[in-house]
Every structure is written in structure tokens, then in C-alpha cells.
């Protein structure tokens, strides 16, 4: 099976009340961990590439690695551009064989966002085969590679704008802002309460009322959540117990993501959690084996942790297991 776009995957996910994981990848071990986990769970999967990943690994390596994963697993895999900043980068990815792109003009005025998104959609939909396009309305706080928004400068999606936006752009899916945030420090301590027993921060709940309102106005239309790592504390603990210093790292609770996946959310983006799992595996390995210097040994442990995490996400959070 060749790479697929997200259209049919989202239609099925919407109908059956689950979401597809969109995992960011930067190197071979991460690609393998994600796709081997998906294979064992019999789940479709989206591998996404940010501008930072393209710079780090070069687009051609990423594309070939994802193609290798398709050949190795036989899974329906989408190769998606995460946060395309302008028409040119989207065009470059479409021409280069990506099956899905995101154009992110969410920081621009509404009319400008519509105009640029429309231009990308026209190009992507004219491509054979059809490339799907995701756009964004509203802005998330936090840092993701080259996308940086200060806490306090974020804005929730306005449900009054979504119908007009989707109609005028022809976009295939829409990322909305309902309180998720990029990075491993999603919320400032003052936005949270602290669990008196563990000292771990408990974040404010997602704005399900906005999601509900958006899905009422766009029946059957796939919604996307960015910044949806949960910053699983078991990995933070391993990192901190093996020489790391991640204080007050906090994410979106998994039960809330599960709830969103049952609603109109068809794609959930997870990046920081993979980074934490990889780091936990490597830190643990180095502390146990200070004499090791073969990268296969420690990166191999990191890969095993990422795979274990992705299986957990697919089965317990996204609900996309056994959906092929």
C-alpha cells in the first residue's frame, strides 16, 4: 500500500469515535518506534514532520524513512507537514510526495488566513493523487520548534468563524484552540492546582464547550488538536531520577483527550511525549551502563520506550487500535 492521505481515515474515525495519532518524527528510531507500535496495535497512523525536523534530518531522508516504514509494515500511513508557515513550504512538500499538509496562518488576520489557506487547498486538491490540507483557527500557547507563542497571547477558536472559514477555504480538517498548548511546559504553575500528595501540577480542563459548539456548526467535519502530549509523569520521574531537571513539566490529561477523540476530534498531535520517552530510555541506560558507547545500545533503549508509549496512546487514549 502506498502512502495515503487523511480523508478516508478521518471519515471512519469520525463515525466510530476515535482519533488518529499524529506523531512527530525526526530520525529512524522514532519512525520505527511509532510504526512498529501501530503495526502491533493494527492502527492507522500519521507521521508528521515540522520545519525543524526538515532542517535537522533533510526532507529526502524523512520521506524515504517513512516510505521504508510503509514497506515494512504495510500500514495506511499519512506523511504530513506540521505547521507549514507559507504556501511555498506546502507546495514543496506536496511536490515532494507528502500526502497531507498543514498551512498554519493562525497568527495572521482572518482574511489573510483564508486567502493563503485557499491557495494551498487549490494546489493540494489539484494534485494527483489528492493531498489533504489542515488549517488552524485560534492560537495555542507554548513552543513547538519554530512556532512560539507566549503564555497569555494565545486565543481560543471563535466558533462563529469556523463555518465561513471552512466554506471559503475548502480545507479538509481544522485545528482549533481549546486550551491545549505546545511543548512539555504546557501551563504555568499559576494556571494549575498542585496535587497535595505528589506535588505534581494539575492543569485547567480543556474547553469542551468550544469543541461542542464547533462540531455543531461543522457536522461530520474532522477537528484536530495540537499540543496534546500528556507529559506522562512516569517518564518525567525517570528523567529526573537519572540526572535530568524537568521541573513542573505538565501536559493535557489523557482522559480529556480520550473524551475529545470520542467527539469530533479525528487527529491528535503528540510530540513532547515521544521526546520524553526517548530521553527517559537514554538517561536510564547511561546511568546503568556508564561504560557503554555504542549508540545502538542507548538509542535502542530510547526507541523501546517510545514504542511502548505509542502503544499506550493508541490503545488507551486515541482508541485507534484494530481500526484497519
Residues taking part in catalysis: 82
CB of 226 to Zn ion, least distance (A): 3
Q: Which is nearer to Zn ion, 44 or 84 (CB)?
A: 84
Query: Grid coordinates in use for 168?
Result: 471559503
- Reported as type and span, the H/E element at residue 83 is strand 77-84
CB of 5 to Zn ion, least distance (A): 19
Residue 285 in the binding site for Zn ion (CB under 5 A): no
Residue 186 in the binding site for Zn ion (CB under 5 A): no
Alpha-carbon span 110 to 302, nearest angstrom: 42
Question: Helix, strand, coil: what percent of the chain each, to 5?
Answer: 50, 20, 35
- What are the distances in angstroms from CA 191 to CA 7, 73, 153, 250? 37, 42, 14, 11
Q: Which of residues 124-163 bind Zn ion (CB under 5 A)?
A: 144
CB of 74 to Zn ion, least distance (A): 28
Q: Which is nearer to Zn ion, 224 or 238 (CB)?
A: 224
Strands 223-225 and 173-176: parallel
Residue nearest to Zn ion (CB): 226
Residue 80 in the binding site for Zn ion (CB under 5 A): no
**Is 142 in a helix, a strand, or coil?**
strand
Q: Which is nearer to Zn ion, 186 or 226 (CB)?
A: 226
Among 226, 275, 303, 323, binds Zn ion (CB under 5 A): 226
Phi, psi of 315 (to 5 degrees): -80, -45
CB of 185 to Zn ion, least distance (A): 15
Q: Which is nearer to Zn ion, 63 or 226 (CB)?
A: 226
Q: What is the DSSP letter of 5?
A: -
- Reported as type and span, the H/E element at residue 134 is strand 132-137
Residue 54 in the binding site for Zn ion (CB under 5 A): no
Specify the stretch interacting with Zn ion by CB under 5 A; choose among 72-80, 107-115, 220-228, 306-314.
220-228
Residue 303 in the binding site for Zn ion (CB under 5 A): no
State the Rg of the chain over Cα.
Answer: 19
- By CB under 5 A, name the binding residues for Zn ion: 144, 226
Amino acid at each position: 500500500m502506498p502512502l495515503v492521505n487523511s480523508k478516508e481515515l478521518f471519515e471512519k474515525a469520525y463515525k466510530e469515535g476515535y482519533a488518529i495519532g499524529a506523531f512527530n518524527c525526526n530520525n529512524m528510531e522514532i519512525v520505527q518506534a511509532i510504526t512498529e507500535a501501530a503495526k502491533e496495535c493494527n492502527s492507522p497512523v500519521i507521521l508528521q514532520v515540522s520545519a525543524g525536523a526538515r532542517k535537522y534530518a533533510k526532507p529526502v531522508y524523512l520521506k524515504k524513512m517513512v516510505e521504508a516504514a510503509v514497506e515494512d509494515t504495510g500500514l495506511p500511513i499519512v506523511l504530513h507537514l506540521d505547521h507549514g508557515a507559507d504556501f511555498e513550504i506546502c507546495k514543496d512538500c506536496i511536490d515532494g510526495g507528502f500526502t497531507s499538509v498543514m498551512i498554519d496562518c493562525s497568527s495572521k488576520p482572518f482574511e489573510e488566513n483564508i486567502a493563503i489557506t485557499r491557495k494551498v487547498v487549490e494546489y493540494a486538491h489539484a494534485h494527483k493523487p489528492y493531498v489533504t490540507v489542515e488549517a488552524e483557527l485560534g492560537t495555542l500557547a507554548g513552543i513547538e520548534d519554530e512556532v512560539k507563542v507566549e503564555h497569555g497571547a494565545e486565543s481560543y477558536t471563535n466558533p462563529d468563524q469556523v463555518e465561513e472559514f471552512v466554506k471559503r477555504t475548502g480545507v479538509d480538517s481544522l485545528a482549533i484552540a481549546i486550551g491545549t498548548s505546545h511543548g512539555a511546559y504546557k501551563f504555568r504553575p499559576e494556571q494549575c492546582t498542585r496535587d497535595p500528595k505528589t506535588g505534581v501540577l494539575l492543569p485547567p480542563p480543556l474547553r469542551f464547550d468550544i469543541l461542542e459548539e464547533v462540531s455543531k456548526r461543522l457536522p461530520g467535519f474532522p477537528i484536530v488538536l495540537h499540543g496534546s502530549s500528556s507529559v506522562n509523569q512516569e517518564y518525567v520521574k525517570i528523567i529526573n531520577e537519572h540526572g535530568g531537571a524537568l521541573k513542573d513539566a505538565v501536559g493535557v490529561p489523557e482522559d480529556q483527550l480520550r473524551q475529545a477523540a470520542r467527539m469530533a476530534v479525528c487527529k491528535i498531535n503528540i510530540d513532547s511525549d515521544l521526546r520524553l520517552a526517548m530521553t527517559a530510555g537514554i538517561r536510564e541506560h547511561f546511568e546503568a551502563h556508564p561504560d557503554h558507547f555504542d549508540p545502538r545500545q542507548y538509542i535502542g533503549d530510547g526507541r523501546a520506550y517510545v514504542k511502548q508509549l505509542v502503544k499506550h496512546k493508541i490503545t488507551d487514549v486515541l482508541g485507534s487500535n484494530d481500526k484497519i
